[in-house]
A = this chain, B = another copy of it.
Amino acid sequence: MSPQPNKRPGRTIRSVQIAFNIIDLLQEEAGIGVTRIADELGHSKSTVHSHLRTLEERRVIVREGDGYRLGLRFLDVASHVRDQIGNFDIVQKEVDSLAEETGEIVQFGVEEYGKVSYLHKAQGEHAVETLSRVGTQQPMYSTSLGKTILAYLPPERIEEIAAAMEYEPKTANTITGPEELFAELETIREQGYGIDDEENIDGLRCVSAPVKNDETILGAISITGPSSRFTEDRLHGELADYVRSAANVIELNTKFS
């Protein structure tokens, strides 16, 4: 883990931190019990016990066999979150249909805390496996979604995000500094779409188009595939067209909300 960047000062509450450490742990590994959790987090069993009781009462975790797992309540929360984002169904529909049409991976992402979070993902028939998962975050400088969203954010927010950025080279092509990034953003604004040329994962290329609502950017939609199928020509040609028209459809449907 890298040192967390979003650290505004202010007081933070220890018990709540512990509670979420437990949740994080159970997210990674289900079915463990008091002792194991206590060990893992470096707390006494009694402490962990009280927390588990609390979380259990809240339906956050569930006792199953001997051990705990996260509760189904999270499914409910997630569905509320999607509703709050707004227009999720339209995004979902469009992403799904583009994935089916092209057979590749199609994703929709938004900016959160200076990173890209995937809101929805669909994979077509001959899609490559990727690790990305709905709700997880990726850096903005190494993904086409990230760069595209960034390009259309308000200038002051771009500055803010760029200032907090730590450029970690993920492949040989990854953008490594601000000058390079700003140039890229300019290019994206000119051509109206963004490219990831094996900058995040070796062998994978993407194109993204921004989805805006009245000049404010909502997110971006991308299509991902292996470099073998995603040649320069196709990237800038038909594939770019695909994402731009999908973005357009979403924009039209969200206009009057």
Which residues of A does B touch, CB under 8 Å?
A: 4, 6-8, 10-17, 19-20, 23, 27-28, 30, 49-51, 53-60, 62, 69-82, 84-85, 110, 112-113, 117-119, 133-136
B19 touches A50 (CB 8 A): no
**Alpha-carbon distance A50/B136, docked complex (angstroms):** 25
**Alpha-carbon distance A6/B82, docked complex (angstroms):** 29
Given pairs A14-B15, A75-B118, 6 additional interface contacts (CB within 8 A): A6-B56, A6-B57, A12-B54, A13-B19, A74-B135, A75-B82
CB contacts (< 8 Å) of A79 on chain B: these are 133-135
A119 touches B75 (CB 8 A): yes
B12 touches A13 (CB 8 A): no
Report the minimum CB–CB distance from A130 to chain B (whole Å): 14
CB contacts (< 8 Å) of A70 on chain B: these are 77, 80-81, 84
Q: How many copies does the complex hold?
A: 2
Report the minimum CB–CB distance from A97 to chain B (whole Å): 15
Q: Which residue of B lies closest to A72 (CB)?
A: B117
Report the minimum CB–CB distance from A125 to chain B (whole Å): 14
B49 touches A13 (CB 8 A): no
A110 touches B54 (CB 8 A): no
B57 touches A4 (CB 8 A): yes
Known: A19-B19, A53-B11, A57-B12. A81 touches B75 (CB 8 A): yes
CB contacts (< 8 Å) of A7 on chain B: these are 57
CB contacts (< 8 Å) of A4 on chain B: these are 57
Known: A80-B70, A84-B30, A84-B69. A13 touches B75 (CB 8 A): no
Most chain-B Cβ atoms within 10 A of its Cβ — which of A56, A69, A77? Answer: A77
Q: Which of B17, B57, B72, B113 contacts A135, CB < 8 Å?
A: B72
B133 touches A50 (CB 8 A): no
Report the minimum CB–CB distance from A85 to chain B (whole Å): 8
Known: A58-B20, A84-B30. A74 touches B77 (CB 8 A): yes
Could you pull out 10 A-B pairs where Cβ atoms are within 8 angstroms?
A6-B59, A13-B15, A16-B16, A16-B55, A19-B19, A27-B77, A62-B113, A71-B81, A74-B135, A78-B78
A27 touches B80 (CB 8 A): yes
Report the minimum CB–CB distance from A32 to chain B (whole Å): 12
**Alpha-carbon distance A4/B59, docked complex (angstroms):** 11
CB contacts (< 8 Å) of A76 on chain B: these are 133-136
